[in-house]
Structure 1
C-alpha cells in the first residue's frame, strides 16, 4: 500500500529527493504519437521552463532533471533554512508570483494600503505568511505546482478533461553522497540509455546539457540549477559536494559504456568521485543504469537507512539488502 508523503520525507535525515511523475494516457507527455502522427515534443519545453521557474520561487533547488516521452525525473534539494530566513514581505512576494493570495496579503504588498491595516489584520497576514512559508519548502507543493500546470496546459491542448498524471508522484530519499551522485547520473543519462540521444551533452531537456553548455561557453554554472561547490570542507557554501568537471567526466564515461556503439571510453576506476566514495566500476554501472530497478524507496548506507526509517516511525527497513550490495563500500 502506498505510504503518505509525510512518511517518506524526513528533512532531518536528508534534503535530497528523487521525484518521478508518469503520464497515464496513451498519448505521450512528449514525443510523437505513432497512431495519430501528432507530435507532442513541444511539451518538453513546457516542463523544463516551468520547473526552472518554480525553482526561482520555492526554497527547492533543482539538482538534476530529464524530461522523457511519458515521464519526468527530477532530483531536488529542499532548502528549509533558506525559507525560514525569508521575511514576511519576501514570502508573500514569492507566493504571489504563483497565486493571488488573499485580500489582506494583497493589501500588505501595496505600500499605499498597508498603512490602513490594523493589528489584528497584520497578525492574520503573519499567520498566512507562515502557511505559505511552509508550502514554499514542501516537496509535495512543489511537485503539485509543476504537475497541475502541465496537466492544465495538456488538457487545454487536447481539448479534454481528466487526469493527465498518475495520482501520486514517486519520491525517493537520497541519504548520502553515493546515493545522490548515482541518482543524478541515472537521471542525466536517461536519454542516452533510452538511445534517444548519443551523448549526455546533446541530451535535450536535461540538466547535464545545461551544465555542459555553460562549461563549453566558459560561463559560470547555470543559476537555475543547484551548483557544484567542490569537495566537503570548512565554511563550504551551499551546493553539491563534488567538482563539476569531475561529475561531467564521470557521466560522459558512463554514457560511453552505456552506448556500446560508441568507440572507446574512459576507465571508470580513474574517476575522482568514485575513488572518494569507494564505489567499484561494476557497482557504479548498476547504480547509474538501473537505479529504479534496484531501489523503490530511500537509498543510502545501512546506518543512514535504518536511521531514516526509525525517524519516520517505520517498523521495517526496506531496501536494506540492495543498499548493502551496491553501497556497502561507499
Structure 2
C-alpha cells in the first residue's frame, strides 16, 4: 500500500530528498517523440525556468536537477530554518510571486491600514504559508500544476500530464546524497542526449560548470560548503571541484563501450565517502532500481525508518551491500 507523503518525509530523519515526476504513460511530452515526429523540446525549458523560480521562492534548496524527455529529477534540501527566519511580510511577498493570495494579504503586502480582525486573519494565512514554504509536496505541486496547464493549453486538450503523485526517496547520509546527485546529473549522458556534463542541457551540472568557468556560483542552486566536520550541514558537504571531478569520472567510467571499467586514478571524494568504486558505478548507473524509500548506509536508513515510524526498513540489505 502506498504510504502517505507525511510518512515519507521527515526533517527528523533527513533534510535531503530525491523526487521524480513522470509524464503519463511515459510519453515524450517534454522532448522529441521519434514515433510521431512531434517536438516538445521547448517544454523542458518551461520546467527548468519554473524550478529555478521555485528555488528562489521556497525555503527548499535545489541541489541537483535534470529535465528529461518524459520525467524530471530533483534533489531537494528542506531549509526549515530559513522559513522560520523570514518576516511575515517576506513570507507574504514570496507567496505572492506564485499566487494571488487574498484581498487581505494583498492589502497587507501594500502595507495599507488594517483593523485587528483583518490582522488576525492575515496572520493565520501567513503562518500556513510559512509552513508551505518548506513543504516538498507544495513545492512539487507548484512545479507540476502550471506545467500541466501550459501543456494542455498548447495541445488544446484536457486530462493528466503527470503520472499521479511524485516519487520521493530520503537520502540519509553524505554518500547517498553524492550518489543521487551524480545519478541525476548524468541522466542525459546515460540516455545519450548529451556526451559530456557541460553539454547536458537542462541539468544542474551544466549550470554549475558554466558558472564555474566565470568564477561564479549559480544563485538558484545549493552552494557547496567543502568538507565540514558536522554531518549533513547547511549546504552540500563537498567541494565544487571534487564534485565536478566525480561526475566527470563517473560519466567516463559508465560509457557503453567501457562497461565495468574502473579508472586507475579515483577522485579523492570516492575514498572519503567510503564506497567501493564498483558499487559507486552501479549506484550512479541505476540509482532508482537499486534503492527504495530510504537511501544510505544500513545504520542510517534504519535510524530514518525508525524515526518515520516504519516497522521494517525497506531495501536494507541491498543498501548495506552498496554503501557498507
Q: Please say whether Structure 1 and Structure 2 have the same fold, judged by a TM-score greater than 0.5.
A: yes
CA distance in 2: counterparts of 1:324 and 1:40, whole angstroms: 41
**1:20 has 2:16 as partner:** no
The 8 Å contact of residues 18 and 174 in structure 1, kept in 2 or not, is answered as: yes
Which one of 298, 301, 308 corresponds to residue 302 of structure 1? 298
Paired residues for 1:148-187 under 5 Å = 148-187=145-184
Query: Alpha-carbon deviation of 1:33?
Result: 2.1
DSSP-derived class of the 1:270 partner: coil
**C-alpha displacement at 1:34, in angstroms?**
2.5
Q: Deviations over 1:146-196 (max 9, x none)?
A: 000110111011110011101110000000000000000000000111112
Matched, 1:284 2:280: yes
Distance 1:63 1:161, change over 3 A: same
How far apart in 2 are the matches of 1:275 and 1:35?
45
Secondary structure in 1 matching 2:66: strand
Q: Cα deviations across residues 111-170 of structure 1 (Å, max 9, x unaligned)? A: 3x2x2x122221221111010000111000000010001101110111100111011100
For 1:136, which of 113, 125, 133 is the aligned residue? 133
Q: Of 252, 255, 259, which residue of structure 2 is paired with 1:256?
A: 252
Pick from 209, 213, 225 the counterpart of residue 229 of structure 1.
Answer: 225
* Alpha-carbon distance in structure 2 between the residues aligned to 1:187 and 1:203: 11
- Matched with 1:146 is 143
Tell me, yes or no, if structure 1 residue 313 matches structure 2 residue 309. yes
Q: Name the counterpart of 1:124.
A: 121
Superposition deviation, residue 249 in structure 1: 0.6
Aligned to 2:210: 213
Structure 2: gaps of 5 or more residues: none
Unaligned runs of 5+ in 1: none
Say whether residues 1:65 and 2:65 are aligned partners. yes
Q: Deviations over 1:28-74 (max 9, x none)?
A: 12222233312001111000000000110000111001111100110
| Cα offsets for 1:271-298 (capped at 9, x unmatched) | 1211111111111101111111111211
CA drift of 1:269 comes to 5.5
Q: Given the alignment, which residue of 229, 235, 240 partners 1:239?
A: 235
- Does the 8 A contact of 1:91 with 1:129 survive in 2? yes
Counterpart of 2:138 in 1: which secondary structure? helix
Q: CA deviation at 1:260?
A: 4.0
Name the CA distance, whole Å, in 1 between partners of 2:253 and 2:322: 19
Normalised by the length of structure 2, the TM-score is: 0.95
- Specify whether residues 239 and 86 from structure 1 end up closer, same or farther in structure 2 by C-alpha distance, changes over 3 A only: same
Q: Which residue of 2 aligns with 1:47?
A: 47
In 1: Cα distance, 2:100 partner to 2:311 partner: 42
- Give how far 1:27 is off: 4.4
Cα distance in 1 between the residues matched to 2:141 and 2:213:
34
* 1:191 maps to 2:188: yes
SS of aligned partner of 2:295 = coil
- Alpha-carbon distance in 2 for matches of 1:67, 1:195: 14
Q: CA distance change for structure 1 residues 266 and 215 in 2, over 3 Å: closer, same or farther?
A: farther
Q: CA RMSD in A?
A: 1.7
Secondary structure of the 2:81 match is helix
